[in-house]
Amino acid sequence: MDQTTVVRRAAPIDEDDDASNEPMAVIPSVATASASSSAPAAGSSSSGSAAGGKSLFSRKPNSAAVSIHSSDPGLEFDQLMRIYYSRLFPFKKYYRWLSYGNVQKHYFCNREFSFTLEGDIYVRYQSFSTEEQLRKEIIQRNPIKIDIGAVYNVEPKDHKQVRGPEFKAEEKEVVFDIDMTDYDDIRTCCKGADICFRCWPFMTIAVRILDRALRDDFGFKSLLWIYSGRRGVHCWVCDNSVRTYDSNIRTVLTDYLSVVKGSEKNAKKVALTNPLHPSLQKSLDIIEEYWEPVILGDQDILRSPAHIDRVLATIPDEDNARMRQALRNEWNTHPNGTSQERWKQLVQEVYLSVKAGKSYLKSTVPEIMFQFAYPRLDVEVTKGVNHLLKSPFCVHPKTGRVCVPMDVDSIDDFDPFAVPTIQELCSQINQFDAANPHATTDSGKKLQDYKKTKLKDFMSPFLKFLEPLESNIRDAKLMDMDKDGMAMDW
């Protein structure tokens, strides 16, 4: 394993010419696939069905939510992963991203990758010199999950050859992790790993608010948004200067963007100034777009007694017990009132109190709105330079869904339930090849496999991110060359 670190534990659970150079293996028909599988990955046992005889891709309907699992068992998970890595994973574009134009000679080979292998084996400090080496290792080892870590001062695979303090994480993208479970205290439809169409807009709001703040307030340009494959989203900020931020700067950044603070024991988690900071006012403008249809409509936050208590508890104590009790009495008297009607009554009561001299209540309405809609960040993920995060284009081991890029410009249309599973992708290749056995591109080249599947729909946002990033890298190179030329003239 060449100086890698292996830990047995519970798992922390492209394209132009991205296809392997090796001959394409024929994908067994999903309907007739045999139970036999290819050799298991190194250090793993052969794959089987999930505990209790249930497939990893079983679907569990619920009146309020649906766990987003593929419905047909078909091929075993390890077989599907081997097909996905050998025929669909976008290695070349993936390498183009993480090598950043090879401006720094050792940038890619000093990057840490970690693999979660079959049998709960977690392998850290993997590193690769070339795209081809990365491709071969992933196809051979067939990881259940891939995580991306920092760029170190030496190749991570050789970290045992240097003393501990001398092995340092030097650079990494600034990353953000937003998980739906952090909204469990406010969403009324689902809990835990489940999501549905009623609560997914929390992620939509989060993407819109953070993307605007990162671009407008900080001037960042290269942002890659990724669906986590199950119940959340990730953001990779890849600007050249950002990747060099130390943990102190990353902490300042998260502090600036964090508004909802405190644990479940804190009834009031937001404290705002009046007037609002201009950035927060822009966030509030976004929240207002979703407040009535999503928070008051789909989430219906003023219908159940438990959620009513959570909303009223955010009103500052002082002498406002009368206001809270008056609202409760009104809503108990009219139990069929809608959340929209009750919200108008709450806003009116706050307004009258402010008018009567309670100026400290001026921020109460926006504080409630922020508490029930503003992004909830996992700040520890962002602060650490050496923190690993699940890789784009890997497959979520519990849903089988690919961690696909998201287009911010059409984020309202993103449907997590429409994200393909690896089983669906394999089936789509079979169906396409059966209907188009001699399909080629306009130039006569063999059609790439991802273009035969729904994965092609998610490649556009990745290219929309990658191509400007590469253009900026080329421009920076030219500027450096010009500077060098001017220096030589002197």
Q: Which segments within 270-428 are labelled E, that is strand?
A: 389-390, 405-406
> Has 166 been annotated as catalytic?
no
Q: Can you spell out the DSSP letters for 429-460?
A: HHHHHHH-TT-B-TTSPBPPGGGGSTHHHHHH
Both structure tokens of 180: 């739906």
CA distance 13 to 120: 9
Identified catalytic residue from 76, 112, 118, 424: 112
CA–CA distances in Å: residue 62 to residues 65, 68, 190, 269, 420:
5, 11, 10, 31, 21
Q: How buried is 478 (Cβ within 10 angstroms: 0-12 exposed, 13-18 middle, 19+ buried)? A: exposed
Q: For residue 234, list its beta bridge partners.
A: 177, 226
Angle at 121 between CA 116 and CA 127, to 5 degrees: 55
**Pick the catalytic residue: 76, 171, 179, 367?**
179
Under 8 Å between Cβ of 155 and 109: yes
CB half-sphere exposure, 207, CA atoms < 13 A? 27
**For 2, left (φ over 0), alpha (ψ -120 to 50), or beta?**
left
Catalytic residue among 177, 239, 298, 367: 177
Check if 177 is active-site: yes
Q: Alpha helix locations (H) across 29-130?
A: 77-87, 91-99
Supply the residues annotated as catalytic: 112, 177, 179
